[in-house]
Amino acid sequence: MPIRTIIEPFRIKSVEPIRWTTRKEREELLKKASYNVFLLDAEDVLIDLLTDSGTGAMSTAQWAAVMQGDESYAGSPSFYRFRDSVQEIMGYKHVIPTHQGRAAERILFSVMCKKGDVVPNNTHFDTTRANVEFTGAEAVDLLREEGRHPEVIHPFKGNMDVEALEALIQRVGRARIPLVMLTVTNNSGGGQPVSMENARQVSAVCKKYGIPLYFDACRFAENSYFIKLREPGYAEKTPKEIAQEMFALGDGCTMSAKKDGMANIGGFLCTNDDIIAQQEKNLLILTEGYPTYGGLAGRDLEAIAVGIQEALHEDYLRYRITSTGYLGRKLTEAGVPIVQPPGGHAIYLDARTFLPHIPLNQFPGVALTCELYLEGGIRAVEIGGLMFGKAAKMDLVRLAIPRRVYTQSHIDYVIEVLLEVWKRREDVDGMELLYEAPFLRHFTARLCPTAEVAAAAR
């Protein structure tokens, strides 16, 4: 029998203690945080699954590269190492560093979009949508039907609806569509991958109408590995070859290095277009910095240069995708409702099905998030009614997995805590909203369990 256990493909050289709290303490802490986990101190969290963005562990090779960081203002060798590493994978002519992904988005859309334009995407991530709309353009999501149903199992639920894309181009006219974007993997749609076949079809439509295609490449390595596992003809290719093939279908990309860049900060923007690149660099100098550092330190560029290559290592990706899938599988086996199939970077709990007795105006997603913290000191995030208001189509709780940070026993602990909450789910109370800010209210909202509100009124 071959050995089947998939282990973490690293050993641990530097450890960071995590802090236990008692349930009694967590009750106090959560109350003090007004039942909003964004208001908790990170030190009061045992397992932090709030986000996979910038929360990963760097490798010894990355830390060694950090020491090579050259902090020259212009023409630093760190920039050239960064540029060469990015170009080897992405293949684009111009590589423009930025402080994170949204800065790349702001610069790209400021240069390419104007009022009245339309930008199609499989699904815009929230900062992407906001940056498109800030230019006066319209952000249109063209996800295929299967991607819109949490329970449906399909290998590539991130795919764009290619017919809808062509229909949109014909309806609004090519002149109003400055670019098409494809987000790999589709973060807002549950971390679901896009197939090479779909990228090829989208690229063909773009070429037919002369519209540039850009990738939102944040999780390009995870997407490449899903293609290797699931798409016929790719089993023998390396994740890097798959990534190279996909990027060759487009004209540029935006990237948050806090995801598959394996860095704690950073991002970049790529394009093949000389004129656009010049305009982008001019804007970069205005707000981010000189084009050989773009708001980053030389050491950050070094960390990204190494990290973006490590994200494509097959043993890392096998561990990454398998451990997320392991969490999803164990929960599914116990009957816990999650978005299927498990994505690359996170598991999404379906809070409406988990807590059917809690009405939507009492935020089932927030209630479940609070319960996970109370039960086991786990911090997740609500993506539903509190975040999006009445526009929310689902109430999800995202368990995002930081890269190379937690081991299988941490994941086993998360499973145990979740199953404990699942067992006594009928006792979980809804939440009443006490305070909301006019924008992005989920970050600062204050809430209270409905039973406490009722008790106080008596």
Ligand X SMILES: *Cc1c(COP(=O)(O)O)cnc(C)c1O
Answer for which of 87, 127, 244, 279 binds ligand X (CB under 6 A) is 127
CA distance 257 to 301: 10
Of 67-75, 77-85, 96-104, 406-414, which segment contacts ligand X by CB under 6 A? 96-104
Q: State which of positions 65-84 bind ligand X (CB under 6 A).
A: none
CA distance 235 to 226: 10
Nearer to ligand X, 258 or 281 (CB): 258
Answer for which of 101, 342, 377, 384 binds ligand X (CB under 6 A) is 101
Beta bridge partners, 214, equal 181, 252
Answer yes or no whether residue 125 interacts with ligand X by CB under 6 A: yes
Answer yes or no whether residue 102 interacts with ligand X by CB under 6 A: yes
Answer for which of 36, 59, 76, 100 binds ligand X (CB under 6 A) is 100
Q: How far is the CB of 194 from ligand X (least distance, A)?
A: 12
Answer yes or no whether residue 252 interacts with ligand X by CB under 6 A: no
Q: How far is the CB of 27 from ligand X (least distance, A)?
A: 32
Q: How far is the CB of 333 from ligand X (least distance, A)?
A: 29
Nearer to ligand X, 83 or 258 (CB): 258
Q: How far is the CB of 251 from ligand X (least distance, A)?
A: 18
Answer for which of 122, 135, 183, 203 binds ligand X (CB under 6 A) is 183
**Beta-strand pair 180-183/213-216:** parallel
Q: How far is CA 95 from the centre of its chain?
A: 22
Answer yes or no whether residue 307 interacts with ligand X by CB under 6 A: no
Of 100-108, 335-343, 374-382, 413-421, which segment contacts ligand X by CB under 6 A? 100-108
Of 83-91, 255-263, 364-372, 373-381, which segment contacts ligand X by CB under 6 A? 255-263
Answer for which of 48, 117, 216, 288 binds ligand X (CB under 6 A) is 216
Answer for which of 122, 195, 256, 362 binds ligand X (CB under 6 A) is 256
Answer yes or no whether residue 264 interacts with ligand X by CB under 6 A: no
Handedness of CA 273, 276, 279, 285 (dihedral sign): negative
Answer yes or no whether residue 123 interacts with ligand X by CB under 6 A: no
Answer for which of 59, 62, 78, 187 binds ligand X (CB under 6 A) is 187
Nearer to ligand X, 131 or 201 (CB): 131
Query: Which residues contact ligand X (rule: CB under 6 A)?
Result: 53, 100-102, 125, 127-128, 183, 187, 216, 218, 256, 258-259, 267
